[in-house]
Amino acid sequence: MQEFLIPAKPDLQAARESWLKMLARERRLSPKTVEAYERDTRQFLHFLTGHCGGSPGIS
């Protein structure tokens, strides 16, 4: 996966990374599918940051 700055609190960043790794390793999804999920969640987090006025988190 490519490294980009993710506008999210550390708890959400860690959960997202764990989820993406699980998709690749345990679910054995195509690398292109995992890249698409990575890109889509990154774009969604950028949207939430602008819409909510701050970095989103789990809690």
Residue 6, both tokens: 């993710």
| Amino acid 17: pLDDT | 97
Return the closest-CA partner of residue 59 out of 16, 19, 9. Answer: 9
| Amino acid 22: pLDDT | 98
Report which secondary-structure segment, H or E, holds 19.
Answer: helix 10-25
| Amino acid 40: pLDDT | 97
Q: Annotate 16-38 with b (16+ C-beta within 10 A) or e (fewer).
A: beeebeebbeeeebeeeebeebb
pLDDT by residue for the chain (59 residues), tens only, comes to 445 688 899 999 999 999 999 999 999 999 999 999 999 999 999 999 999 999 999 98
| Amino acid 3: pLDDT | 56
